[in-house]
A and B are shown apart, each in its own frame.
Chain A
Amino acid sequence: MSAHTLLAEPGCHIRQDCAFPAPGLQSFNFDPIFSVGGFDFTKPMLLAVICTVLVVGFFWAAFNKPKLVPGKLQLAGEIGYSFVARSIAREVIGKKGDKYVPFLTSIFFFVWIMNIMSIIPLAQFPATSRFAYPVALAALVFITYMFLTFKTHGFRGGVKNLVWISGLPKPLVPLIVLLEFIQNVITRPFTLAVRLWANMFAGHMLIVLFSIASWYLLTPTFLSVVAGGSFLLAAFMTAFELLIQFLQAYIFTLLASIYISGALEEGH
């Protein structure tokens, strides 16, 4: 049972023998919309599919028949594309980064739209707050990172690129090699996924918390003032989330390009 269904129960207010339906992990678990065999199709999956359709649909409409003098939609698409191509790929990787612009653009817009779903009425849930989605994307980034590292430097060079820092005092070498290995091979993909997931998780939790609270406190008493405050906070958090959603998509893409850049660079 989800927080959303709790919200839909109109009778649950304070001092009505009704405990505060605090949001928790259950707010992120959904009953399947339908099940086929052992496969449960849930709301986050539906949202991921909708986001796929939205991203592809938007870029299809914008770029399917691009004109030299762009229309409004194409211009909007070009601004988005240029943002990733210039502000991220060119800035971080340089000229060599042009090859990875489609990958980075796909990541950025897919993540961003999934994040935005957090504050879209009816959807009101970021698929990225389900850990699997950030993990899937971080895994792809990590695979790309590893592939490029070994492709650029060969096996020995690749390993060296991952763990070696030249010019260290001898006694420090084993320690640094260990730390570099942990950082580049274990923490990087993990933090990449967790950062996105945790931000969207926390954001959704806050919005749900204030939304439920404002409903729960809405009684014909002075507590309705508190309910109003809670509602305002929910509205404020919604606006704030809009920023966070963009920021997290940007950071995810930026880090992906930093990893790619690190893989392509000469040994550090």
Chain B
Amino acid sequence: MLHLLAQEEAQNPLLPETAELVVGLLCFFIVFGILGKKLLPNIQKTLAERHDAIEGGLERAAQAQAEATRTLEEYRAQLAEARHESARILEQAREQGAVIIAEMREEGQRQRESIIEAGHAQIEADRRQVSVQLRQEVGRLATDLAGRVVGESLEDTARQSRVVDRFLDELDAKAEQTQGAAT
């Protein structure tokens, strides 16, 4: 035991053993060789592919988003245009309506005036006719009355009053007749 210890203590732990160096290097080269040549390139490729897939997905998503935004913009533009158009049409209709109303009003006014005028003319014509008839009638009546006054002797008041009454009756009847004819 002591002999063994003495022997081992003589060794320097900082002196690498050649056999172990060789084994260590060989082991590392095996690890490095297999990992470096095959396995790590494998995973690098896969990671790159995954990166692509994810990035590609993101890209596609971004594209879809852009398209959606564009479509939305288009819709908005169309909607705005439609609103504008409808407002324009409404405005136009309103204007046209106002014009039509004004025209109608004018037309109505004009018709009313013409009707009134016609009425006035009619009335004037009627009045003239009546006045002419009246004048003729009054003339004839006056002549008639004068004839009778002159032709008959007015002996008594009774006869006189009878004559006057008859005259008035006739006059009434005449007036009724004239009215009937006028209506």
Nearest CB in chain A to that of B46: its residue: A66
Q: Are A131 and B30 in contact (CB under 8 A)?
A: no
- Residue A49 contacts which of B14, B27, B44, B49 (CB distance < 8 angstroms)? B27
Nearest CB in chain A to that of B14: its residue: A131
- Residue B9 contacts which of A24, A130, A137 (CB distance < 8 angstroms)? A24
Contacts of B21 in A (CB 8 A): 132, 135-136
Nearest CB in chain B to that of A50: its residue: B27
Nearest CB in chain A to that of B18: its residue: A132
Contacts of A28 in B (CB 8 A): 13
B167 smallest CB distance to A (angstroms): 135
Q: Report the interface size for chain A: residues with CB under 8 A from the other chain.
A: 49
- Residue B36 contacts which of A26, A103, A132, A135 (CB distance < 8 angstroms)? A103
Q: Are A78 and B40 in contact (CB under 8 A)?
A: no
- Residue A109 contacts which of B31, B44, B50 (CB distance < 8 angstroms)? B31
Q: How far is the CA of A28 from the CA of B15 in the complex (A)?
A: 13
Q: Are B47 and A63 in contact (CB under 8 A)?
A: no
Q: Are A131 and B13 in contact (CB under 8 A)?
A: yes
Residue B139 at the A interface, CB < 8 A? no
Contacts of A102 in B (CB 8 A): 32, 35-36, 40-41
Q: Are B20 and A45 in contact (CB under 8 A)?
A: yes
Q: How large is the interface on B (under 10, 10 to 19, 20 to 34, 35 or more residues)?
A: 35 or more
Residue B4 at the A interface, CB < 8 A? yes
Contact of A66 with B42 at beta-carbon distance under 8 Å, contacts A1-B4, A52-B31, A131-B15 already known: yes
Q: Are A68 and B19 in contact (CB under 8 A)?
A: no
B12 smallest CB distance to A (angstroms): 9
Contacts of A51 in B (CB 8 A): 27
Residue A266 at the B interface, CB < 8 A? no
Interface residues of A (CB under 8 A from B): 1, 24-26, 28-29, 39-40, 42, 44-45, 48-49, 51-52, 55-56, 59-60, 62-68, 74, 77-78, 81, 101-103, 105-107, 109-110, 127, 130-133, 135-137, 140, 194, 201
Known: A25-B13, A49-B23, A194-B14; 13 extra A-B contacts, CB below 8 A, are A1-B4, A26-B4, A45-B19, A49-B27, A59-B34, A59-B40, A62-B43, A63-B39, A68-B53, A131-B14, A132-B21, A136-B16, A136-B24
Can you list the 10 inter-chain pairs with the closest CB atoms, starting with the nearest? A132-B20, A102-B36, A132-B16, A136-B24, A66-B46, A106-B32, A63-B39, A52-B27, A133-B24, A63-B43
